[in-house]
Structure 1
Amino acid sequence: MHSLPEWTDMRFFLELARAGTLSGASRRLDVEHTTVARRIDRLEQQLGTTLFDRSREGYELTEMGLALLPHAEAMEGAALAATEQLSGAEIAAQGVVRLGLPEVFGVRVVAPLLVTLLEAHPDLSIEMLSLARFANLANREADLGVMLDPPSTGRYVVARLATFRFYLYGAPAYLAKHPPIRTHADLERHDFVDYVQDRLASRELSYLNELGFTPRRRLCALGMGAQVEAASLGMGLMMAPPYAVPDDGRLVQVLPGFYAERSFWLAAPTDLYRLRRVKVVWDLLRDVADNNPALWLGRGDLGRAA
């Protein structure tokens, strides 16, 4: 290696590693794809090694590329932190935070809280990714995210956000037309609304398996929002956490003693977690989780869980 690589070349390396294609990296960087290719070629020449395997499907990191990745991420984190400090953003959060959230949790719980947060930080902007899947932090799709499966490898700050329960719910009209549910065994005679089974965002979403029998799934959807609407219209029973169920009487709890328990995790890349703008959003999520137990547990279980 005859000279040190430029930080801008390392940035091109990071974006190509995350996007996997020249076109994807060029969109992230707002440059032509030929510029990305030229910068990567120059970086490989400077380092005297091949960083990517090229194929018709895209670019995949080589062993040397994987070894360089954490160093490039550390450089990125240092550059972001320096920019924040010099701009005074370490005091007043400013800039854009991309927040990855489960669909219904994002819409029903987090979105209303952002009003106060943005009023307190006039120079802060939020891009909320409320998805039927979980945001991919490895390719920097989001700056921080709430998920069922925390990262097990890589440089991340991870914290358990909350433990919550999925309870059974049904529409009053559905329950009036179908056999009564007095015991767990009665559930086998009923229809269910669930996730599309071969498109689960996490194995943790296969909670209907805990019924102990194969449920008769009459309607399946990718997201919980669609499931709530389907169950509210009487298409079957569904399982959902308390925060997902509208407080309008369209769904009522069935067989309160049965539930499936899961945990949400909050995660952010280590270098981004240090940034003031990311930290204020992190703290907001921790605060709402710690101080609103009714979001996670059925009201009848709050006393027993205390």
Structure 2
Amino acid sequence: MNSNSLPEWTDLRFFLELARAGTLSGASRRLEVEHTTVARRIDRLETQLGTTLFDRSREGYELTEMGQALLPHAEAMESAALAATEQVSGNEVSVHGVVRLGVPELFAIRVVAPLMVGMLQSHPELSVDLLVLPRFANLANREADLGVMLDPPTTGRYMIARLATFRSYLYAAPSYLARHKPIRTQADLAQHDFVDYVQDRLASPELNYLSDLGFTPRRRLCCTGLPAQIEAAAAGMGLVMAPPYAVQDDGRLVPVLRDFYAERSFWLAAPTDLYRLQRVRAVWNLLREYTESKPSLFMNTRDPVRPLRVGA
């Protein structure tokens, strides 16, 4: 292939977005073009390279072996283009551009969204796409530039740091406690109702807090996300396990058995090439500095506690 037949970078952008979205409509939304434009660009790229990059089906587009081989090279070009744009535009002084941040639902609502307000006021040229998810962001397909998760990537090139260690405690509504037998010891929990995660839809095995209580908990209502669990428990449905940031200080939920908790860690992760971008590092650093300064969001430091040994 001579230099005149090298693929255009714009065609490779279309290739990357289709690989990440898996459908023409998804890629067209990301690129803000018609889906026919995406199809035309991919056809042109495949003709130019003399190979098939995607297997087409009714379900969508899936990379072929040759498409998989092209992917890391296209990602390297994307990273270089982003870094060059930052440097040439003088972004070493002014943080600007869009950062896509993937965060668990309630953590986003109670912690991250309010925090972003101050940051965006300080950086008028910065924008944040906050992906508020009932699962953890898929960094492998570049769904987000960085993400908060319980299970950091174990393969691939990522920057990873512990964001915060948090403890989930037992809570219940005063109305529930008034209607049911008193809870004085862990053994008493066997007689009570629980609100928990849907067990076959766990975003991470780390969310299985109740597995080692010594009995099978009576799960009366299961939800795929913590916000719905909190609301159901506050309405008197049953006991729920949640970290302090998830429970507002409005009396709707009160602690139960303060001496028990399940301890986990949130991790911050970003693809190494995206972490080099100043705008990504700015959000990364803000999250780390804020969580380090607010330990009360993640654990109750007022009472002596001992861990409830749950999970593997």
Q: TM-score, normalised by structure 1?
A: 0.93
C-alpha deviation, 1:115, in angstroms: 2.2
Q: Does 1:265 align with 2:267?
A: yes
CA contact (8 A) 1:210 1:260 kept: no
Match runs of 1:75-154 below 5 Å? 75-154=77-156
1:142-199 deviation per Cα after TM superposition (whole angstroms, max 9, x unaligned):
2211111212233321211111111111112211221111111110000011122222
The alignment covers a number of residue pairs equal to 305
Superposed CA deviations along residues 33-72 of structure 1, whole A, max 9, x for unmatched, are 2322222222223333322222222111122211211111
Q: 1:183 to 1:199 in 2, by over 3 A?
A: same
Q: Which is worse superposed, 28-37 or 184-193?
A: 28-37
Structure 2, gaps ≥5 residues long: 308-312
Matched residue, 2:177: 175
| 1:304 Cα deviation after fit | 8.9
Deviates more, 1:150-159 or 1:66-75: 150-159
Query: How far, CA to CA, are the matches of 1:34 and 1:155 in structure 2?
Result: 33
- 1:292 paired residue number: 294
Amino acid in structure 2 at the alignment position of 1:180:
P
**Aligned partners of 2:57, 2:132: CA distance in 1, in Å?**
32
Inter-partner Cα distance in structure 1 for 2:271 and 2:303? 35
| Alignment check: 8 A CA contact 1:241 1:296 kept | yes
Match of residue 195 from structure 2: 193
| SS at 1:263 equivalent | strand
Whether the 8 Å CA contact 2:259–2:306 is kept in 1: the answer is no
Whether the aligned pair in 1 keeps the contact of 2:258 and 2:303 (CA below 8 Å) is: no
* Structure 1: distance between partners of 2:284 and 2:223: 30
Which one of 213, 217, 220 corresponds to residue 218 of structure 1? 220
State the match for 1:68 in structure 2: 70
Q: Counterpart of 1:207 in structure 2: which amino acid? A: Y
Is contact 2:16–2:74 with CA below 8 Å preserved after alignment? yes
Q: For residues 11 and 176 of structure 1, what CA distance do their matches in structure 2 show?
A: 60
Q: What does residue 239 of structure 1 align with? A: 241
TM-fit CA distance, 1:121? 0.6
| CA distance, structure 2, for counterparts of residue 302 and residue 102 of structure 1 | 28
What CA RMSD, in Å, does the superposition of the two structures yield over aligned residues? 1.9
> How many angstroms apart in 1 are the aligned matches of 2:157 and 2:45?
24
Distance 1:11 1:206 in 2: 39
Residue identity in the other structure for 1:181: I
Correspondence 1:184 to 2:208: no
After TM superposition, give the deviation of residue 280 of structure 1 in Å: 0.8
Question: Match for residue 282 of structure 2?
Answer: 280
Task: Return the alpha-carbon distance in structure 2 between the equivalents of residues 28 and 248 of structure 1.
Answer: 40
Matched, 1:160 2:171: no
Of all paired residues, the percent bearing the same amino acid is: 76
CA 304–123 in structure 1, closer or farther in 2 if over 3 Å, else same: farther
Instruction: Supply the distance in 2 between the matched residues of 1:240 and 1:198 (Cα, whole angstroms).
Output: 19
In the alignment, is the contact (CA less than 8 A) between 2:259 and 2:305 conserved in 1? no
| Counterpart-to-counterpart distance in 1, 2:70 and 2:165 | 37
Asked if the contact 1:90–1:275 (Cα under 8 Å) also holds between the matched residues in 2, the reply is no
Amino acid at match of 1:193: V
Query: Under a length normalisation based on structure 2, what TM-score does the superposition of the two structures give?
Result: 0.92
Change (3 A) 1:189 1:302: closer
Aligned to 1:55: 57
Report the Cα offset of residue 303 of structure 1.
9.5
Unaligned runs of 5+ residues in structure 1 are none
CA contact (8 A) 1:51 1:64 kept: yes
